[in-house]
Amino acid sequence: MNDAHFNRLFALARSGKLSRRQILETGLRLGLASPIIASLIDAAPRSVVAAPAAPSKDPAALPARQESSGALQVIITSGTEDIDPHYSYSTLSSTVALAVYEGLVTLKGESTDEFEPMLAESWEVSEDQSTYTFKLYPDVLFQDETPANAQAVKDSYTRWIELEGSPVNVITRFCDSPDKMEVVDDTTLRFNLGSPQPLFLAAMASSYGPSVISPTAIAENATEEDPYAHEWARTFAVGSGPYILESNSINEGLVLSRYEGYHRGWDGNHFDQIIFRVVPEDSTRRQLLERGEADAAAFNLTVDAVAAMRDNPALQVVEYPSSAVSWAILNAPRLLTPEVRQGLSYAFPYDEVQNVVFQGLLQRSGPIAEGVRGYDPDVFVYPTDLDRARELVIAGGFAEGDVFEYMVDANDEREQTIAQLFQANIQQMGFGLEILAVDYATVESTIFGDAPAEEKPHIIGGWGWWPDYNDPWNQLWPNFTEANIGNGGSNAGAWVNPRFEEIMAEAENYEDEERLAELMIEAQNILTEQDPPAIYYGQIIRYTVLGANIQGFVPNPLYLDSFNFYGMSRASS
């Protein structure tokens, strides 16, 4: 190998543009000796290579390891192009963020409104809930050995605000300027929010956004064209969490390794590695779990597979109520009147969807899930009534024989089945339902695109939402307000209700829980019985499949498809 090739490889390794695996494979292909390959790996940034960063404390001061659980292999359907927690809304990116990064606080166990420490060991809230003061654990280091102190948190959150990525509203709803963050001392950060904000702690515990990234890593990878180093953070990561990102491939998956310097230490039984393995095929994912060749999968199996796995002693199926609700979007301008949308809601095959298609992994609800603040246990829920449905559709301006368009993801077998069941009901009423089966990218572009409602189908199936944190405004506002018609919003049905707009304006800055509950009862009645913008399937029951020997997993209704990796282990055989 000539010097130019070696220098080029050395430069790529040092810049962090090659993972440890890529360095190793390239070195072997070029015939380099093992010591030279080792020197190239050593030249790579610690956030890229597998070798753990130096501990944040004297190793003698950290609790000794008791035993190791080895590697936990998690099956996923695909990788993600962006794991930047300040930019991406990907479920996988939030799962990775909860392992690699830390925020100030996190949700406690299965609760959606109780919190426990992460970087902050304690916090104080002013009486009027306008000022939040966080006391950080001292001497915490990021995985690049730089201090994770109050200034670092402020710098990281300043990036979050100024980058203006998808999850930015999680913080800017409450803290819209870095000037509202005050570094009191090295371990004290105060948020002076200017008005009562009872939901601020909930927002800071979200899995979307509040991750603290090493400001040094950002600065080292920033460019004039990319001052926030977003291109670097799409693929790499440096946090203060228990696991270091070792490798990241959209086609193969990700590998996380234990960060020896993690400030909570490694006393007890923990996993050394977390391996996310990309397996696109449904049947293969099932086989790997059943053969014990994989340890975990979250909500990416067929309902038939889940039903079979419930009776498999080698596996455990953990089912839990999520904060997610599924629905079909109704195109308000094309469906003319609330009566027509009410009629289509009465026409939907709820029992078959709940019991046959979802096989019980669905609980009837309105647009807000049980367990989310503002949920109304007495919300109006439509029964299937085809006579009433026909009456309302005709009263709303349609005639027998008219045909409705129903867009659905062609690759989603469950949604295809729902569309066919609905089609049978519509035909029985004397109308037609044309199923438009398209790829998922087309579904998304139709929902988030700027095309007028007149150019979109009457109904778009298989949609849904869950909030970033425990708040009904955060669930409803993105989907059902005028501000979210076009411009990347998800109100694809162009539904507008003046009274609902007033409720959302008040709920955004509410100060009293009782008043919020009153507003949400009215809002949910508008969204269901009075003027439905959607047909609500119901609240999704989420599941995670684990090997029988995996212990310590705690699901949370807001951290969907995620894992509390640090608290998990493999039982001794």
Interval 435-476: pLDDT, tens: 999 998 899 999 999 999 999 999 999 999 999 999 999 999
Q: Do residues 332 and 535 touch, judged by C-beta distance below 8 A?
A: no
274: exposed, middle or buried (Cβ count in 10 Å: 0-12, 13-18, 19+): buried
Q: Which of 15-24, 244-253, 387-396 has the lowest mean pLDDT?
A: 15-24
Say how far apart CA 165 and CA 230 lie, in whole Å: 10
* 3-state SS track over 320-333: EEEEEEEEEEECHH
**Closest to 564 (Cα-Cα) out of 148, 270, 234, 213:** 270
Segments making up each domain of the chain, as ranges: 3-43, 65-272+561-567, 321-541
Q: Which of 77-81, 140-144, 149-153, 491-495 has the lowest mean pLDDT?
A: 77-81
Say how far apart CA 102 and CA 207 lie, in whole Å: 10
Instruction: Characterize 471-506 residue by residue with b for buried, 16 or more Cβ atoms within 10 angstroms of its Cβ, and e for exposed.
Output: bbbbbbbbbbbeebbeeebbbbbbbbbeebeebbee
Q: Cα 340 to the chain's mean position, in Å? A: 34
Q: Cα 138 to the chain's mean position, in Å? A: 30
pLDDT tens column, 200-221? 999 999 999 999 999 999 999 9
Q: How many CA atoms lie within 13 A of 299 on its CB side?
A: 21
Give the CATH H-level superfamily of domain 65-272+561-567. Periplasmic binding protein-like II (3.40.190.10)
Average pLDDT over residues 558-563: 96
Q: Cα 366 to the chain's mean position, in Å? A: 21
Q: Above 50 in pLDDT, residue 543?
A: yes
Average pLDDT over the chain reads 90
End-to-end CA distance of the chain: 49
Q: Which fold has domain 321-541?
A: Dipeptide-binding Protein; domain 3 (3.10.105)
Q: Do residues 447 and 329 touch, judged by C-beta distance below 8 A?
A: yes
pLDDT tens column, 103-133? 999 999 999 999 999 999 999 999 999 999 9
**Closest to 432 (Cα-Cα) out of 511, 344, 491, 500:** 344
| Strand-pair partners of 244 | 257
Q: Above 70 in pLDDT, residue 34?
A: no
Return the pLDDT at 32: 52
pLDDT tens column, 263-292? 999 999 999 999 999 999 999 999 999 999
Q: Do residues 133 and 190 touch, judged by C-beta distance below 8 A?
A: yes
Return the pLDDT at 13: 56
pLDDT band at 68 (very low <50, low <70, confident <90, very high): confident
Say how far apart CA 137 and CA 310 lie, in whole Å: 42
- Which residues, 6 or more positions from 189, have their beta carbon under 8 angstroms from its beta carbon? 104, 133, 134, 136, 150, 153, 154, 181, 182, 183
**Closest to 161 (Cα-Cα) out of 149, 173, 152, 150:** 173
- Which residues, 6 or more positions from 135, have their beta carbon under 8 angstroms from its beta carbon? 120, 121, 122, 123, 124, 187, 188
Q: What are phi and psi of 343, to 5 degrees?
A: -60, -45
Return the pLDDT at 35: 47
Average pLDDT over residues 410-426: 95
Please state, in angstroms and as integers, the Cα–Cα distance from residue 529 to each residue in 2, 148, 379, 406, 519, following that order.
75, 50, 9, 22, 16
pLDDT tens column, 168-208? 999 999 999 999 999 999 999 999 999 999 999 999 999 99
Q: What are phi and psi of 397, to 5 degrees?
A: 120, 0
Say how far apart CA 300 and CA 409 lie, in whole Å: 16
Q: Cα 189 to the chain's mean position, in Å? A: 27
Q: Above 50 in pLDDT, residue 40?
A: yes
Please state, in angstroms and as integers, the Cα–Cα distance from residue 22 to each residue in 16, 251, 259, following that order.
11, 14, 21
**Closest to 573 (Cα-Cα) out of 549, 552, 553:** 549
